[in-house]
Structure 1
């Protein structure tokens, strides 16, 4: 059963009652129908709240007819104000996307079109390239050997190694790995695992022997009886494992491996894609393995590979060093 977003939205959103009621319905739809992640829904809620608060500061108590009458300059003024507050282009682009989503909801409900939002261009954002790990570092991070001397229980170390092996060995998101049930465990010769990704879309990804071995070792050492429909990976008290615990485990290894702060669990997924591409992996196949809805999302990894070549050129070529 999906939790309703109505109470917090009603308490926190400024504006007239009709706007708050429409916002509650919109936010609930993002959760129950579009199945957006809680973080995305909260970000959209926050962006709408800030926009409505801005209109209130301009002397209005915005209702739906007032939103319909907005001019492009009203939206640009909000964006400029946020830019002055130090908000980056990426966050502004997300804010505009959220406001447009709310406007589409109003239109679908028969209130009319908020034309001002469609008339404002999205801010240009230079896409940041993923920062993959070196092959040796990615392999080490997903190996139990790097944890030698750690005072935590052996089963906890094996658990962390198994989770990270799935991130690097199969390209899973951390939420996908932690969403696996005991029944899903890729062991006993299973060569693939089915995961639920963004938008509740399922996909099957291959599981290599090393990943299977890591999961089997974790299950062998785990002190808890894991029910088939319960989580595969559990915390020290037997409950579902928190992503934060995995993030902390990776952070603790960065020093030993001499890695920057960009070495996160998600960087292992980037490394999976980049290293496959470097070995002549097919871009369309990598898209399917990663669960990207658009090939354009996957194509960023071709830029990563080019960027690494340029770095190597700058570091090694005599003319590059002389310039």
Structure 2
């Protein structure tokens, strides 16, 4: 179907994606997904209308065609969440195109995405998180692997890191400083305090690791010396939760959820937690931690200068 996209539309899409990379700092996975979404939209539109559209026609597409596209996507089994993401990409591309070409893109930009139920993460209890940290290395084949797995999950829970961020650390990051500079999604940097327990856990792993941890090489290594595959940490978590009787939601990412939720429960400020997690908006942090509206207003009223 992508062969139906006109050369002009394909060139415009490529230019938009280049713009996102250069100016907006979007993550490469996000850009790839947006490109696929917009290509799907352009291809559908060409087949739906029986021919390719000029760039001006892409800007002034009527709402009926946009709804037909969304219905088509849902009809072939695409989830409402994915259609909503695709619509966001189409809106972004159309707004950029309208800004460059001129034209009224109101129909597309005002379209509503299909509703979907957001899946809130399920954090572990404080006791459950402590049990994971204490026993995640129990099934390891060698002591240094046990120390490695313990160090990784301690960073996830103790610092709120994503698994990709923890495994992105290099030998130059050891010994861990009191404050770690993390490059997260979209290349955005944030400063994360490092607990003494996390520094000690990483130091224990480094002391036992049989490989030469060069400054430019990965800090966490696999059994053959290459960068540690995140699937191995997921597998270690699966064995641990089965042994401890924890729910299937007890994944590596759940430790990051737990970090945020437990901080908030202890009286942490929602804005500070947002910065620690690297979330772009407070609403993301609110959903992430399962904060209810009453708790959010309590934090707001306590912190707002005019409350």
The normalised TM-score by structure 1 is: 0.82
Query: 1:85-105: per-residue Cα shift (whole Å, max 9, x none)?
Result: 333322121111111111133
- C-alpha contact 2:136 2:237 (8 A) present in aligned 1: no
Q: 1:211 aligns to what?
A: 198
Please name the residue that 1:72 is paired with.
63
1:270-317 CA-partner distances (Å, limit 9, x unpaired): 00011111112221221121112222222225635799xxxxxxxxxx
Report the counterpart of residue 305 of structure 2 in structure 1.
none
- Establish whether residue 48 from structure 1 lines up as the match of residue 38 from structure 2: yes
Determine whether 1:57 maps to 2:47: yes
**Distance in structure 2 (CA, Å) of the matches to 1:297 and 1:28:** 27
Q: Matches of 2:10 and 2:280 in 1, distance apart? A: 32
- Return closer, same or farther for 1:281/1:215 CA change in 2, 3 Å cut-off: same
- Aligned match of 1:224 in 196, 202, 211? 211
Whether 1:116 and 2:128 are equivalent positions in the alignment is no
Q: Which runs of 5+ in 2 are unaligned?
A: 295-307
The answer (yes or no) to whether the contact 2:241–2:248 under 8 Å persists in 1 is yes
**Cα shift at 1:16:** 0.4
CA contact (8 A) 1:17 1:63 kept: no
Name the CA distance, whole Å, in 2 between partners of 1:81 and 1:200: 35
Are the equivalent residues in 1 in contact too, given 2:5–2:46 (CA < 8 A)? yes
Flag structure 1 segments of 5+ consecutive residues without an equivalent: 1-10, 308-323
Matched, 1:274 2:265: no
Distance in structure 1 (CA, Å) of the matches to 2:186 and 2:262: 26
Residue 28 (1) aligns with residue 18 (2): yes
Distance 2:14 2:254 in 1: 35
Taking structure 2 as the reference length, the TM-score comes to 0.86
CA distance in 2, matches of 1:245, 1:57: 44
What is the SS of the residue equivalent to 1:109? helix
Q: Is the 8 A contact 1:106 1:113 kept in 2?
A: no
Identify if the C-alpha distance between structure 1 residues 247 and 72 changes in structure 2 by more than 3 Å, giving closer, same or farther: same
Partner of 2:124: 133
1:100 aligns with 2:87: no
Q: Does 1:85 align with 2:72?
A: no
Give the counterpart of 1:154 among 124, 127, 143. Answer: 143
In structure 2, which of residues 141, 165, 181 is the aligned counterpart of residue 176 of structure 1? 165
Contact persistence 1:278–1:305 (CA under 8 A): no
Structure 2: distance between partners of 1:215 and 1:20: 48
For the Cα contact (< 8 Å) 2:17–2:35, is it kept in 1?
yes
1:257 aligns with 2:257: no
Task: Provide the rounded CA distance (Å) in 2 between the counterparts of 1:181 and 1:33.
Answer: 27
The RMSD of aligned alpha carbons is: 2.4
Taking the aligned partners of 1:301 and 1:149, their CA distance within structure 2 comes to 30
Q: Structure 1 residues 12 and 174, CA, compared in 2 at 3 Å: closer, same or farther? A: farther
Instruction: Indicate the SS of the match to 2:290.
Output: helix
Q: 1:293 to 1:119 in 2, by over 3 A?
A: closer
In structure 2, what is the equivalent of residue 241 of structure 1?
228
CA shift digits 1:69-92 (9 cap, x unpaired)? 311111111111222233332212
CA distance in 2, matches of 1:302, 1:181: 29
